[in-house]
Structure 1
């Protein structure tokens, strides 16, 4: 039977359980609803079905009237919106009449009831969300929590939107007509599941298979509730789920896509498998479906561990994936760890080791996490910037490592050992850095050149004199060719062989970060070093750290093969120290090419020795567990 809102709200209360994600209507959905009401005319308008389950009967302490409490399975968006609308109509009557009236009192009985205090007729089981809803529905000034969830924002926006809509009703008679339409002509069918002994959670899942789909996280949460109810497990799934999505929102990674990525990551790491953002629910159900039919203590313990991981791991996931890590220095990590994570982000390759970072943050102290973060930056740079492997290189190994950190009590030292072995086997330090001595990596073909020069710049002082740029064009423009890309005037005489000049101009040893590229132009090396008539030169007070050091390689009379290679050797030694692991297998000798011996006759091959550190041949043998890939 169809019922109007006065009937649905006059002697009933509706309880929204935590397994529902909360209010989510925007102004568009609200305007569509208002549009329907405005087009009704003198006829009633059917606005769908709400599904609920009768829970208990009680008496309203204020009126003595019998009331029924229902669990609201489907329809919270409409009923919540109507409750807000009726509340704003009530407020508008009071504003016009300057006092309470029969109409405002009548509406108040549809909005609230009294049982152990005054309560709204549509309540949220989540106490924090419900307190916020009561707050925005009151006449008092809204108290805004520091960390608002999406549901809170939508509720606040709905109140403000409907308040603005009702402000146009200045005529009491028009307001009364609108009130009667809303309360008496809007018709809804209510279905009570308790009458038919229908499973609430399966119904919720079926209802939400239509329209905007639930996230994989929502579906897994609902399945966990179903299992816990069937097995009688005292696990607060809704609390873990709510804390997790609140954390994701707090760190700015609360979108539907990020929710799916989060639950896929937790499932994959915990079960040592690989699940995608789109099939994790399917794999989760396959893993735990047996618990719907029979007891399995081992499975129950595993499921409990997974559920209890959600809220705590969401903090680590949020930190690693958020864009404002600086806000959490000293709260969630130390300054060193932040700097290493920031460096990985700057490489644009954060996805490669983010699971290692998140599990390490979850498992280790600030200092240990900092060590792992450094290892992740070294691994990423050597494997993918210097060796230029595809991003999925060693993906299975990294997944396995992350699982070990999370579930196998893998220590921080174990992690460094594991990553060192991967690097020795795939991106040996000496082989990697040798690429810088051959000209194989240069201005024309190395997309990580700016990152390398920036790190070199930072190494020359406690602070960098140039800000990190994210724009690719700005990055390229801030790289100065000491020997210009195009030689004329002084440089064409200095480098008579133009083919050689072009080749050598792009070598790493000829490149430096600058803040005055357009000013330096194609000046002679002497004028580039110091030209007091110019606004900028290498020895200028505002020049970069590395520009000031160019004077260490030339007196201003020449800049040729010898000077470029001398500077390149220093950059190579920097790279050896900067991207070495504490692993004795990173030791070795870089054999310099004939070019070095031709132009620097006294130079010797570069020997790099790590005398104290991990010996991957003597320590525990690292085994890769079997990872299930369906």
Structure 2
């Protein structure tokens, strides 16, 4: 590898070279903190010298001989087809350009000579090879540099619709202008600072060969401000492709569009996509999957992945990956993110998301082949089977988080590219294995009442709310009714006013203790079974607290459908409800009293509904 270092002051950096922004570079993302740090560093050094030498004339000779030089860091370039591309350092170089634009206007304010002003102007833009250009060639922000250089008075009139680069350039112009206005109050100080800025601030330019840009880019990133893994990955992938092909195939546009689409849901969500994708396609065990949890952009080029996806110094494979796999699976992932919000088309995606079961994304990506014609059915099938797996384990006290985390990667490998018809068998295999492990004996039934009997005692609050929300959805769907509250509120809203909370039908009072033979352990175990619970909105829950059952029954009116099934008026002239009972052989009935027998009856009813929902 050939690296050529070159020490340059700013006067030389911005003299006759147009710097194009390479694909590796992010948008211009510096905001106030890094900009002010740079200004603080520059002025700290300058002010120390100026205090000592301010009696000297402001000219090049005095500044060059008396003022200490200051090192501003390194910037890296490579030359392709005669154009100089910035590999690293465009954040700093862009900020220096903005400072120069501010100095240009200050020179006019202080009444500096025309040659002096033109000198500053020539550091912002000039002629190179016969063409006039800003030395920092931000293609989408040229209009911003033009307006700022012209001195547009109303900065709000500048068109910044091209994106974050344009916005930050304008914002930082204001920050820099205000900073310099406070620091420099005289013409002498201004001219001295300008000479200092252009002659004594030093950068080192490293010119590297194109073939080594991806590697150099990552090394530079390791010692500087961290880029996101996907930003490094972009450089390592796109850096292998000839720039003419990048433009012809619009690969950079594809990358930017897909990343923007994914990141619109959450900041840097694209990093999560790559983690899920790589685990889905290239891991068979938990240990293999863990390799992708941190620096996946490095693991992607490891020998471990190379067996399946060879992207290291392989332009043909890189182009194929970006034009096919990357495009298809990011589109698939974006659909899953969209479905993770309440919808009627893919409900189980939303249900899993409500409980933060992000494993579904990995499993769906694993199940779907490239350009899968059966994609929709696979999405629904995997989401449903995962929901069923979790729920039947939890409801039968068979869920072990460590064992589940281990088995999910084995499951992931088993369902890779498999047809929908095989999903139930694969999921049931792991369901039965985990139930058997929890019981210490071989289990052959995926759901049995003997294991469901104590459901509720050890379940966490969110899952209990989730369970009753699903019961509520079941009743609404089967009686042609709308939900009284949306699923998110039922499960996730915990506010004291509109949030929903777990209500114990059996209150803690002497009368109810007697129903359980005054056995404190039995009383608390039984009242916490699902048959003795329901959901109530915040204030309703508080008001019913330790009331007798007859009073509680009144407070259940006009709440949720499951609560109202305890009341006699629920069954009057409601044909749809009766049709549901008949269709599914469900023995709903109102209950004027509520003790151990009624609790057991309600628990069994929930078991029957569970069998229908998670059949």
Q: 1:314 to 1:103 in 2, by over 3 A?
A: farther
Shift of 1:452: 0.9
- Whether 2:116 is the aligned partner of 1:109: answer no
Check conservation: 2:381, 2:423, Cα contact below 8 A: no
Check conservation: 1:262, 1:317, Cα contact below 8 A: yes
Structure 1 residues 250-276: Cα deviation after superposition (integer angstroms, max 9, x where no partner): 22141xxx5554334333434456342
Write out aligned runs for 1:208-287 (5 A): 208-225=221-238, 227-228=240-241, 238-254=252-268, 260-271=271-282, 274=289, 275-278=291-294, 280-287=296-303
The whole-number CA distance in structure 2 between the counterparts of 1:75 and 1:505 is 65
Partner of 2:552: 528
Partner of 1:74: 88
The whole-number CA distance in structure 2 between the counterparts of 1:91 and 1:2 is 28
- Whether 2:364 is the aligned partner of 1:345: answer no
Q: 1:159 to 1:319 in 2, by over 3 A?
A: farther
Shift of 1:249: 2.6
Structure 1 residues 410-459: Cα deviation after superposition (integer angstroms, max 9, x where no partner): 444454664455546656895435256422x2244555222112221233
Partner of 1:588: none
Shift of 1:216: 4.2
Q: 1:45 to 1:493 in 2, by over 3 A?
A: closer
Shift of 1:75: 2.6
Structure 1 residues 149-194: Cα deviation after superposition (integer angstroms, max 9, x where no partner): 6x66655553443244245478462544443432333233334447
Matched residue of 2:223: which SS? Answer: coil
Shift of 1:304: 3.9
Structure 1 residues 114-165: Cα deviation after superposition (integer angstroms, max 9, x where no partner): 68986421124xx55777777887746344449x56x666555534432442
Partner of 2:54: none
Write out aligned runs for 1:205-604 (5 A): 205-225=218-238, 227-228=240-241, 238-254=252-268, 260-271=271-282, 274=289, 275-278=291-294, 280-287=296-303, 302-308=317-323, 309-318=325-334, 320=336, 325-326=340-341, 335-337=344-346, 339-348=347-356, 350-358=357-365, 363=372, 369-383=379-393, 386=396, 387-390=398-401, 391-400=404-413, 403-404=416-417, 410-415=418-423, 418-419=426-427, 422-423=430-431, 431-432=446-447, 434=449, 437-439=452-454, 441-446=455-460, 448-461=463-476, 462-465=482-485, 467-470=489-492, 478-484=501-507, 486-488=508-510, 490-492=511-513, 496-499=517-520, 500-515=522-537, 516-530=540-554, 537-539=555-557, 541=558, 543-552=559-568, 557-580=592-615
Shift of 1:312: 4.2
The whole-number CA distance in structure 1 between the counterparts of 2:448 and 2:267 is 36
Partner of 2:176: 162
Q: 1:220 to 1:572 in 2, by over 3 A?
A: same
Check conservation: 2:72, 2:201, Cα contact below 8 A: yes
Q: How many pairs align?
A: 530
Matched residue of 2:293: which SS? Answer: coil
Q: 1:505 to 1:240 in 2, by over 3 A?
A: same
Shift of 1:572: 1.3
Check conservation: 2:17, 2:84, Cα contact below 8 A: yes
Q: 1:304 to 1:165 in 2, by over 3 A?
A: same
Partner of 2:137: 123
Partner of 1:15: 20
Check conservation: 2:126, 2:134, Cα contact below 8 A: yes
Shift of 1:17: 1.0
Partner of 2:576: none
Check conservation: 2:348, 2:387, Cα contact below 8 A: yes
Check conservation: 1:487, 1:522, Cα contact below 8 A: yes
Matched residue of 1:335: which SS? Answer: coil
Check conservation: 1:344, 1:380, Cα contact below 8 A: no
Superposition RMSD on alpha carbons, in Å?
Answer: 4.4
The whole-number CA distance in structure 2 between the counterparts of 1:564 and 1:161 is 68
The whole-number CA distance in structure 2 between the counterparts of 1:137 and 1:311 is 40
Partner of 1:52: 77
Q: Where does structure 1 lack aligned partners over 5 or more consecutive residues?
A: 58-68, 405-409, 531-536, 581-630
Q: Identify which range, 43-52 or 362-371, moves more after superposition.
A: 362-371
TM-score by length of 1: 0.70
Shift of 1:303: 4.3
Structure 1 residues 358-391: Cα deviation after superposition (integer angstroms, max 9, x where no partner): 4668745556634543333223323456431333
Check conservation: 2:230, 2:271, Cα contact below 8 A: yes
Partner of 1:6: 11
Q: 1:53 to 1:478 in 2, by over 3 A?
A: closer
Shift of 1:7: 2.6
Structure 1 residues 24-44: Cα deviation after superposition (integer angstroms, max 9, x where no partner): 434332222212221223513
Q: 1:296 to 1:479 in 2, by over 3 A?
A: closer
Q: 1:356 to 1:132 in 2, by over 3 A?
A: farther
Q: 1:117 to 1:229 in 2, by over 3 A?
A: closer
Structure number with the higher helix fraction is 2
Partner of 1:585: none
Partner of 2:33: 28
Check conservation: 2:15, 2:126, Cα contact below 8 A: no
Q: 1:269 to 1:520 in 2, by over 3 A?
A: closer
The whole-number CA distance in structure 2 between the counterparts of 1:186 and 1:296 is 38
Partner of 1:182: 197
Q: 1:501 to 1:133 in 2, by over 3 A?
A: farther
Matched residue of 2:301: which SS? Answer: helix
Shift of 1:346: 2.1
Q: Where does structure 2 lack aligned partners over 5 or more consecutive residues?
A: 1-5, 51-66, 436-442, 477-481, 569-587
The whole-number CA distance in structure 1 between the counterparts of 2:23 and 2:348 is 38
Shift of 1:514: 1.1
The whole-number CA distance in structure 2 between the counterparts of 1:296 and 1:14 is 27
Q: 1:508 to 1:473 in 2, by over 3 A?
A: farther
Q: Identify which range, 571-580 or 558-567, moves more after superposition.
A: 558-567
Write out aligned runs for 1:129-140 (5 A): 139=152
